[in-house]
Every structure is written in structure tokens, then in C-alpha cells.
Structure 1
Amino acid sequence: MNDQIIWILGSTKNLDLPYPIRWISSEKELPKEDCFAIALDLNNLQNYFEKVTALRQRKTYRFTPIFYLGKSDRFHADIFDGELDKESQTVALAIHERIQLIPFTGVLEDRELFLLSYLFTRSTLMVHGHLTPSFTNGISFPLLKVLFGENNGVDEWNFLQNMVSRDLLFQEKLVDEIQTCPSCHSGLLNYKNACPNCHSIDIQVQQFIHCFSCGNIEPSTRFLRQERLICPRCNAKLRHIGMDYDKPLEDKSCNQCGFYFLDAEVIIICMNCSKNTPPENLVARRLYIYKLTKHGEFLARGIEKKIQTHFNNFFAFIEFEAFFSIIKWQIKLATRYKDLHFSVLALKITNEEELLNELGVFHTEKLLAEFYERLRHVFRDSDLASHGENFVLFFLPMTDEQGCQVLLNRIQEFSKQQKLSMSEKKLIVHMGFITSEEVTKSQQDAEYLIANLHSRIDSA
């Protein structure tokens, strides 16, 4: 870009800078077809976050370097390309050089590809987040709000974690953690102490006394009589602690049911969806600083040619030899004990190469990742997974033919529906299964079972 002027939005003042600048009072004065760089004078802008967001929504300014004058909020540091100083022109030139390496095909239409491309153009930039009560999920990633718009409808934490699972982003550093509602993932939770007997929150802290003579336990105020401790039940005079009486660990009482207790029950109410959740059922979301990976960089530049997203990014596979041994053992059990049964399901995606040729690596990976993620939620924790060359095997304990058919129908249903808006191409998934009943009736061994499954998915 020959015209290397930095446009500054704010009130004119003298700046000692070694490059040309131009002052403007409104973003409307900016060139329509992009400019070399922009700077915002934060001393005169109360709503600078909204200004940067509005600029990033303009197609020609999606990647334009934006600097600042004054003092920026530490949480918003990564929405700028740094403070305006004598080196800003050099920084802007480096960004423009990297912009030239982006193919731009579909970049602005896909949020993931846009983020990868933006991070690539800023070689040291990372995605930072922070905890905040301003949003229901309790987490905010300012850079994502600037790039995608403030009301983008994206679960930002889940969005970034999904990119991590596909090796597009790397978790550089753990920053914090927040407990969230398992129903709506809100981080705005209300913690209440309640009576473990009747669950009322009408409880109070007070001291108790335990009379050794009759075993009576009551609040200490009921033992006080004429400045002496006298048991209200047996009238014993309590003179020496440890001999006549002691003070129990219980230090709380319920004003509703009169129950005495030590530890209150913790009731957690989501302030977004109003659902109650026990503490052990809360979902922890860890907050990281995210960095672009080499795979993400290659996709942004359009030079990645191999698919890196595979089943093993989403499933905990066991070695095929171990899987095979389990099947042999289960066949013996099913032959001897008729009430034990299982099934083995095989799955294969047959048009991966075709998708790759038409959609490219990035969009094919995205389609596969969405399929794998949905597939992961179909299977149970007790199901085992293994894989061979271009196919996956699932061992399904206590699953009969009817259960397998339900499973197949669910997988076929969402695989047929799944496609990218930019193309009519869909995943073609071939599946087959065999039940222990069929195996024992025909007296098949494990080797024949696997071979049988191969033929079934090939002919599906």
C-alpha cells in the first residue's frame, strides 16, 4: 500500500511521529475502500469498544491495523494492534504483508476461518478472556465480540474449545476457572445455605451445650439461668466443661423445623434459568489464553493439504488388539450365559476425498468435526471404540438388534442433514452391525465377526 497514512479519530494535537497522519472527527470521514491504518484517541472516546466493533463489521476494514492513543482497558488490549508510537508504521506494514498471504476465499463468511486469518496477520496476537458479570455465561472474549459483533449469538468458550479439539488453536496458559449451570451454561449462580433436614434457608448460627447428665442438646441461651448454666431438662448445674458438659460441633439451627446441624446444605440456583443444581453437578469451564497453531496457520494461508481432524480427536480409542481380545472374551461369555448380550457396530465415511476436492481442507474438517462431535454424544461411556484403516468399531455392551437399529437411525438422520451452507455436499456414512445372538447362533469367531462387518459396511 503506497499511501501509508495513519488516520487518527479524535481532537487534533501535535504528535512527534516519523510518518504521515491525518486527523478526523468521525469514522464517516474514513476512505470507503480501506486505509493503511487507523488510531483512536481514547482520551476523547467514551465508547471506543463500540467504535472498533463497528469498524470491524465493515468488510474493507476487517483486517485494517487499529492503534490507540491514551490509556486502554487491560481487558481490551488485544482488540488493538498496540499504542500509537514511532514503531506503529512498521507494525502496520508487517500486518499488511501477512494480509497478502491470505487467499480470502470464504474468509469473511466463516467465523472460524476469519479468526484464524486475523490471528495469522498478527503474529504475536493471542485470544484473551476474562470473567465478568456483564454476560450470562460469566466469560467474555473481547476480541471475538469485536470481530463477530457484540450480539453474535456464539457461545464463545465452546467456540474456542471446539477449535482447540481440531488443533486450530492451542491453550497457551490457564488463567481462571468458572463453575457454570449444566442446563444453560450460565456463570451467574446464587449460592444459598439451607437446612439439610427441611431445606429452608431460615437458619441461624448459635452456640450449643450438651449436658452429660441427661444428654440434652440445646442452644446455650436456654441453659442460662441467673448467670449460671443449668440444664433446662434435668436441672443439673453445669460447672466444669468436659466434666459436666461440652460444646458440640453443631453450631447452626433451623428456625422452621428446629433441626441442629454442623454443615449447611448448599443450594445453587442459576440466575439465568432458575434451575437448582447440586454443587457436584456444576460444569467447570476453564479459561485459557489461546494461540494459533501451525495447522491453523496453514489453513488460514490455504496451504494445508491434509485433513488433521480424525475420530481420535473426539473418542478415547483402545488398541485394536485389546479390542479384539475383548470381543473374543465376550463371545465366550455370551455363548455360556444367555442373558449376556452385546453388539459390534462398524462405521465408515466413504466420500472424504470427494469432500476434500470440492470444499477444501478447512470446510471438510469443519464438517467432519461437527459430525464427530454429534456422534460422540450418541454413544455411552460404557461403549468401547477402536479403529482400523478408514473405519471405526464400537463395542456396545447389553445392546440388542433393536438398540443397534435405533442407534443407526439416529446417526443416519443427522449425517444426512449435515452439510455446509456453501455446498449441497453431504457426508456419506456406511454402517453395519452384528449382534452376539447372531454370532453365537452361527458359531462365528472374532475373526469372522470383523470380516463380516467389513462386508456389511462395504455393501451398505
Structure 2
Amino acid sequence: MSQLLQLTDDADKAVHGDAQRVLAEQVHDYGDSGPALWLIDEANVRDPLELMTAVRQQPSPAAYLQPILLLTAKGGQSSLSCRAADGAVSPESFDSSHWLSHFADLQRWIAELPDPNETDGQTSMRVLRHLASRHLSIEPMMTAQMPSGFVYPPLLPYFGGAAIGTLEILQFLETQQFLEAEFSASAYLCFHCRSAFLAFEETCKQCESADLDIQELVHHFRCGHVAPIDEYRNDDKLSCGKCGRDLKHIGVDYDKPSLIYHCRSCDHRFQEADVRTTCFACGRRTAPENQHRETINRFRLTPLGDNAARFGVESLFTHLLERDIGLVPWSVFQRFVHIEQSRIKRFGKTRSTLLFLSIDNMEQIYAQLGARAVELFEALSSVMAGIVRDTDVVTSREERFYLFLLAETGLENAEVPRERLISRLTEVMSANLSANPRLESHLLELTEDVDLEAQLQSMASRPRD
């Protein structure tokens, strides 16, 4: 039976019916407590999306996939918060037994995962599992509340309530054939910051000023005179300055074939103005054709994506490393290390070194580059392939930690490939990402008492920026 939990940001606010009050900072205490239905009363919280984020940022699918129901006076209307939740209902209409039954299929889907309490480190996998568990096709929503202009509301809590990275993750999943895209809309975004809020203005061809006076040109049929409409104005009527006749009926006496621009800054007159766009967010100014045209798609899960969501998927980078440097499973790596430790213990002459490498911003690659992440992963794999020797053994953990067993290599000699590896990885990542790569490495002489798990735990527990 699912627990009924009401999420709030104020310990003094009343909760609905039999629900148990939970503050945002207490959400992690309920991660392993079994099925739950989270309630959020929109009228009694500052930011519903912030509270949804507290649930969706939990580590395991058994926690972050739990359903969220929004209690709102809007009664299911299409606001951002309503569409980000798994459902919306007015507090007066809420029936706990109905909604617990409504989410029974979702709870069964979560329970049938091979290990629902295992940590999901990749946002891409979280997104995939959210869509699969709800049999959901994801639709873009046009909104002025987010800089991108379009959002996918149910996914916002996975990205901290912001739209940054959402589209790139969806595009990446499409390249892996986990999602299928269908055109929904197109939009022009700022070439620099990807904001959808652009001001369009006509400017002078000569001095680029936007201080323009725009008038209609009038063509008098009888005498062929063409001039700005101001030159025809005579009190409350139009009169031709060339022949003196009055112009009474458009289409009979005259027409208005085009416009004429007069720049108040430089006095230049012209018939076609240039157009410039200015971004409201970053202030950068350029011609419209230089802005980024983005196709906004709706996405639905493919059979391959559904299978990956249920049973997991090998990371793309791991697959490339297996191809390029013969990356081995963790259990095989442990066996190699154990054999090397046995040799050291028996003969006392072997000198081998362990190289520990962590790459903390792998998720940023998916979020920032989207479909182009494949190219960067190819480049990173190529860097490692150029440094790893045939006698070295390499493995990975959680797509963040990479361990190298450098056989018959002492600490001093191991420093050379370590420096080359960090230098080349930093160079490639810096050239492709907006933020500096977060790489950490250290060398450890292999002795018979080295504990691999303890070393990894030590690296994982270090603060991350």
C-alpha cells in the first residue's frame, strides 16, 4: 500500500486529510520507504516546481519515479506546475483511494525494475525511465516563464526546475534510437545564450539607427506623381503637389505601392530597411539570419528505449572505450589486480602502479552537446587509446571513475602518462564545453594491501563543485 505524503516548505501549514507532512529537506529520508503518493498543495507553498525537484533529484528510481499529485484550485488546467506533476485536482475533489488506484500500474512498473533501489547517476536514464514508467509521449509547451520559450514540463524537476539541458538530453536519446522525434514547432533562439526572447527592429542602411520615420508612398494615377503621403496632405484631404488635383478614392485616383523610410539620425531616405535582432537576455545584436533556428519536437519512446529504461543501458562512452582500448568489466579488473598483488607478495620485485581518474562533468556533455556528444566521446576515447599501452588494464565505474593498472611501471614512470592523459583530456573537453572540465587523478603504488573499493569510496566522497 502506498504512503500518502504531503510535501511542504512550511512545518506550520496544514496537510490534507490523512497525509503525512514532509518538508523538502526530509524527502531523502523517504527514499527507501516503499511506494508513495506525493501531494503538493499549490496554495500553501512558495514554488511547487522546487518541491517536485526535491523528489525527482533522489538517487534511485524507487524514489524519484514516485507519482506527484498537485492540489490546485485550477483543477487540472495547463499551467506549468500542473503539467509538471503526474496529475492535478482541486483539494475539494481529491479522493485518496481513487488516486492510489490510478497510480497502481506505475508502482508495479517501478517494482519490476531489476534493482529499483540502485542509484541512477545519469540524467538521461532518469528521463528515459520517467517516460517509460508513465507510457508518456513528451510534448513541448510554449511559455514566457523560461528563457528557451519552450519547455517539457514533466522533465523540469529533473533539471532543477530549469529548461537548460532538457532539449539536448532528448536529442541525445533520439540519436541512440531510444526516442522518436516528430516536428512540433520551430523557433529562433539567440546565437549566444539560446534565449527565445528577441526584439526585431528595422534600422537605417547607412548608419544602423533605429530612429526611423516610416511613411506610405502615394502614386497618383492621373499624372504619375509618386511621393510620401505627407506631401499630399492638405488639411483633411489629399491633394497632388504636381497637378493640384484632389485624390478621393484609393484604387481609383491613387494607390500606395510601398513604404519609404526616413532616418532621423542621418537624414537618409530608403525603401527597404535592414532588420536587426537584439536578445533580451544577453543584449547581443545581430541580423536575424545569424540567430539559431531550433526545431522543437515532440518525443515518444521506441521499443528499444522502453527496453533500455527497464533493464538499463551501457553508457555510450563505455562502449567506445571497450572498442578502442579493451575496457574490461570491474570483476575482471579486480582479478588482474589480485594476480598482480599475489606476484608482488611472492616475488617482491614487481612494481606496478594504479592510476585513478575521475571525470565529474560527464552529464554536462549530454546536456550541453546533445546529439553532438557522440563526437566528443569519440575524441576522448581516441585520447585514451593513444596513451594506454597493450599491457595496461583499464576499467570504469559509474561512468565517472576510470582505473588503470600500469603493469611493471613505477610511480615516477607512471607520472608521464598521467600528465599526458590529463593534459589531452582537458584540451579536448575545454574546446567543446562552456565550463572547465572537472578532472581529478592520482597515482598509487600497487602493494598487497591496497583496497580498490576503499580507494574509490575515498574519491567519491570528495566534495564536487
Q: TM-score, normalised by structure 1?
A: 0.58
Per-residue CA deviations over 1:309-338 (Å, capped at 9, x if unaligned) read 99xxxxxxxxxxxxxxxxxxxxxxxxxxxx
2:116 matches 1:139? no
Q: CA deviation at 1:140?
A: 2.4
Per-residue CA deviations over 1:275-302 (Å, capped at 9, x if unaligned) read 3332233322232332222222222233
Asked if structure 1 preserves the Cα contact closer than 8 Å seen for 2:4 and 2:39, the reply is no
Aligned pairs, how many? 341
Q: State how far apart, in whole Å, the 2-side matches of 1:7 and 1:89 are.
A: 12
Q: State how far apart, in whole Å, the 2-side matches of 1:107 and 1:26 are.
A: 22
Match of 1:159 among 145, 164, 169: 169
Cα distance, 1:276–1:97 mapped onto 2, change above 3 Å: same
Aligned runs of 1:4-403 on 2, under 5 Å? 4-9=2-7, 11=14, 21-24=18-21, 26=23, 32=30, 33-42=32-41, 44-46=43-45, 47-59=47-59, 61-70=63-72, 71-74=75-78, 75-83=80-88, 85=95, 86-100=97-111, 101-103=113-115, 107-120=119-132, 122-150=133-161, 154-171=164-181, 173-209=182-218, 217-224=226-233, 229=239, 231=241, 236-238=243-245, 247=255, 249-256=257-264, 257-302=266-311, 351=323, 354-355=326-327, 373=372
Q: State how far apart, in whole Å, the 2-side matches of 1:277 and 1:110 are.
A: 37
Asked if structure 2 preserves the Cα contact closer than 8 Å seen for 1:181 and 1:277, the reply is no
Cα distance, 1:280–1:4 mapped onto 2, change above 3 Å: closer
Paired AA for residue 57 in structure 1: Q
- Pick which of 277-286 and 180-189 moved more: 277-286
Paired AA for residue 53 in structure 2: T
Q: State how far apart, in whole Å, the 2-side matches of 1:39 and 1:105 are.
A: 18
Cα distance, 1:160–1:108 mapped onto 2, change above 3 Å: same
Paired AA for residue 113 in structure 1: M
Q: State how far apart, in whole Å, the 2-side matches of 1:44 and 1:306 are.
A: 42
Q: CA deviation at 1:112?
A: 0.8
Q: State how far apart, in whole Å, the 1-side matches of 2:272 and 2:55 are.
A: 54
Paired AA for residue 280 in structure 1: E
Structure 2: 5+ residue runs without aligned partners? 8-12, 89-93, 332-362, 388-395, 405-420, 422-465
Cα distance, 1:13–1:216 mapped onto 2, change above 3 Å: closer
Cα distance, 1:372–1:187 mapped onto 2, change above 3 Å: closer
Query: For residue 391 of structure 2, what is the aligned residue in structure 1?
Result: none
Query: For residue 338 of structure 1, what is the aligned residue in structure 2?
Result: none
Q: CA deviation at 1:192?
A: 0.6
Asked if structure 1 preserves the Cα contact closer than 8 Å seen for 2:189 and 2:195, the reply is yes
Query: For residue 433 of structure 1, what is the aligned residue in structure 2?
Result: none
Asked if structure 2 preserves the Cα contact closer than 8 Å seen for 1:38 and 1:64, the reply is yes
Query: For residue 382 of structure 1, what is the aligned residue in structure 2?
Result: none
Structure 1: 5+ residue runs without aligned partners? 15-20, 311-347, 360-365, 378-407, 427-460
Q: TM-score, normalised by structure 2?
A: 0.58
Asked if structure 1 preserves the Cα contact closer than 8 Å seen for 2:5 and 2:22, the reply is no
Paired AA for residue 81 in structure 2: H
